[in-house]
Structure 1
Amino acid sequence: MNNPVSRPTRWIVLALMTLSLIYFLAPVWWLVVSATKTNSGLFTGNGFWFGRFNLLSNLKGLFSQQDGIYPLWLLNTVIYAGLGAALSTLFSALAGYALAKFPFRGRELVFNIVLAAVLVPQALLAIPLYLLFSPIHLVNTYWSVLIPSMVSPFGVYLARIYAAAAVPDELLEAARIDGAGETRTFFQIALRVMSPALVTIYLFQFVSIWSNYLLPALMLANDRLQPVTVGIVGWEEQRGIGNAVPTNIVITAAALCVVPLIILFLSLQRFWRTGLTAGSVK
Structure 2
Amino acid sequence: MTPAVRHPAEPAATPATTPPTSPARRRRAPKPPSALLSRAGVTAVLALATVYTLAPLTWLLLSSTKSRADLFGTNGFALGEEMHLAENLRHLFSADGGVYLRWLANTVAYAGGGALLAALFGVAAGYAFDKLAFPGKERLFALVLLGVMVPGTALAIPLYLLAAEAGLVNTFWGVFLPGLVFPFGVYLARVFSAAYVPDEVLEAARMDGAGEFRAFCRIGLPMLAPGFVTIFLFQFTQIWNSFFLPLVMLSDQDLYPVNLGLYVWYSSALAQGHPEDYLLAVVGSLVAVAPLIAVFLMLQRFWKSGMTAGAVK
TM range (shorter): over 0.9
Q: Does 1:129 align with 2:169?
A: no
In structure 2, what is the Cα distance between the partners aligned to 1:49 and 1:111? 52
TM-score, length basis structure 2 = 0.84
In structure 2, what is the Cα distance between the partners aligned to 1:96 and 1:54? 49
Give the alignment of 1:30-69 within 5 angstroms. Answer: 30-51=59-80, 52-69=82-99
Using the TM superposition, give the Cα deviation of residue 46 of structure 1 relative to its aligned residue in structure 2, in angstroms: 2.5
Who is 1:117 aligned against? 147
Could you tell which deviates more after superposition, 18-27 or 7-16?
Answer: 7-16
In structure 2, what is the Cα distance between the partners aligned to 1:123 and 1:129? 10
Select the residue among 257, 266, 273 that pairs with 2:304: 273
Residue aligned with 1:49, SS? coil
Who is 1:258 aligned against? 289
Mapped contact 1:235–1:244 kept (Cα < 8 A):
no
Who is 2:28 aligned against? none
Using CA pairs below 8 Å that are at least 6 residues apart, which structure has the higher relative contact order?
A: 1
Who is 1:79 aligned against? 109
Larger Rg: 2
Select the residue among 46, 59, 63 that pairs with 1:17: 46
Using the TM superposition, give the Cα deviation of residue 259 of structure 1 relative to its aligned residue in structure 2, in angstroms: 0.4
- Give the aligned residue type for 1:36: T
In structure 1, what is the Cα distance between the partners aligned to 2:267 and 2:161? 26
Q: Structure 2 stretches of 5 or more lacking a match?
A: 1-30
Q: How many residue pairs align between the two structures?
A: 279
Residue aligned with 2:52, SS? helix
- Give the aligned residue type for 2:63: S
Using the TM superposition, give the Cα deviation of residue 181 of structure 1 relative to its aligned residue in structure 2, in angstroms: 1.8
Deviation string 1:53-90 (CA, Å, 9 cap, x unpaired) is 10011011111111010001000000000000011011
Q: Aligned in 2, Cα 1:6/1:130: closer, same or farther, shift over 3 Å?
A: closer
- Give the aligned residue type for 1:268: L
Mapped contact 2:147–2:183 kept (Cα < 8 A):
yes
Deviation string 1:22-67 (CA, Å, 9 cap, x unpaired) is 1111011101111111111112223112212100110111111110
Mapped contact 1:236–1:245 kept (Cα < 8 A):
no
In structure 2, what is the Cα distance between the partners aligned to 1:216 and 1:176? 45
Using the TM superposition, give the Cα deviation of residue 276 of structure 1 relative to its aligned residue in structure 2, in angstroms: 4.4
Who is 1:168 aligned against? 198
Q: Aligned in 2, Cα 1:80/1:217: closer, same or farther, shift over 3 Å?
A: same
Q: Structure 1 stretches of 5 or more lacking a match?
A: none
Who is 1:89 aligned against? 119
Q: Aligned in 2, Cα 1:54/1:96: closer, same or farther, shift over 3 Å?
A: same
Residue aligned with 1:139, SS? coil
State the identity as a percent: 48
In structure 2, what is the Cα distance between the partners aligned to 1:13 and 1:280? 36
In structure 2, what is the Cα distance between the partners aligned to 1:7 and 1:94? 46
Residue aligned with 1:257, SS? helix
In structure 2, what is the Cα distance between the partners aligned to 1:114 and 1:101? 17
